[in-house]
Amino acid sequence: MALRRLARRLASVPFQPRLRPLPIPYSPGHLRYSTSSTQETKQHFMAEYLVSTCGLSPEAAAKAAPRFSNLTSADRPDAVLAFLRSQGLGKAQVRAIVSRKPALLLSDVDATLSPKFTALRALGLKRADASRLFALFPSALTYGVHSNLLPRVLLWLDLLGSTTLLMKWLAKAWLLKYTVDLLLHNLATLRGIGLPEARLTALVRLRPTIIMQSPAKLKALVARVEACACVPPTSGMYTWCLFALHNIGDRAFEAKKAAVTRGFGCTDDEFAAMFRRAPCFMFSSEEVLRRKVEFLSTACGVGCVVNNPVLLTFSVDKRMAPRLRALEALRSRGVVIRKTSVATVVRLPEAVFLERYIHRYKQDVPQLLELYP
């Protein structure tokens, strides 16, 4: 209050032309007091707008409101929202965009936003796909059209081969977050180890996130494949080993490996051979994998599984146990079944198994339909 009185007094003093007013003593508290009222008004205005018009939660709106401290009207945010809706974006999509990038409400529609939608349509994307792309990755609306947006979208369209796959993976991963230079560097790394082009294409379409990591992490992944599987890049199983290890951390891999080697009593070399031939069995959780090992140890033994590791990819309850129960029921009723290994029975395609063992004998052994629903 004293500072304010001093300021009023100084303002009323008739200074001579060559004289300067005395400086008002600096006080952080005074500055906060003098500006807080205005700031609170603006924050209140934007917080209410973000909740009522954009659909943000009060907490999210309060957090975003300070970005609009210099905004005096809702004209520009209104224009942005109207434009986004005109592009076919629904209420939930607009909310997602504003929640992720609230500063976009300050954008100039004609200079900043419209050219991005136009550019994607020029690439052949449908209006709905262009809108969905920005809804899935709002940061793309902040990219320069020619410096970032088009190069990244064009590269992914080339790698994935279709808009359908592009939209599928955009819903699962932030494809457009990564620079073209990074992606090309990682592709060059995989080509450099001798991975055939056709398999590289298949790998990227199966799991594009493999090239969406730092070059150091990708090199470490390649080294893990060499250490765990010793499979050459020219092998058809190399990409599956790469895919498996990309999704399984070191600790989880070692825990699952221990479940298999201890359960079967097999060696590290035998495990490596199993992993080379059927790396996808490692996608099972440690608990599920341990149960499969226990079941197969009794059903056929370690030798059978080492030679047929794909058995570890099948479900105990939905495939292996029901099929073996059905065969046991047939034998108990005197049906002569030629000698068939567990591996052969389990690996048969569903239609073949049904025709060969269920439909053929369901009149003689009616309970087959209960044992193998």
Q: What is the pLDDT of residues 266-280, one digit of tens each?
A: 999 999 999 999 999
35-52 per-position pLDDT tens digit: 444 444 434 577 788 888
Task: Output the six-digit token pair for 256.
Answer: 């699952």
pLDDT average, residue stretch 95-114: 92
* pLDDT of res. 144: 94
* pLDDT of res. 44: 55
Find tokens 């709905």 and name the residue: 128
134-168 per-position pLDDT tens digit: 999 999 999 999 999 999 999 999 999 999 999 99
**Cβ burial 295-309 (10 Å sphere, 16+ → b, else e):** bbeebbebebbbebb
DSSP structure string for 9-46? HHHHS---TT--PPPPPP-HHHHHHHHHHHHHHHHHHH
| C-alpha torsion sign, points 357, 363, 364, 367 | positive
309-348 per-position pLDDT tens digit: 999 999 999 999 999 999 999 988 888 787 788 999 999 9
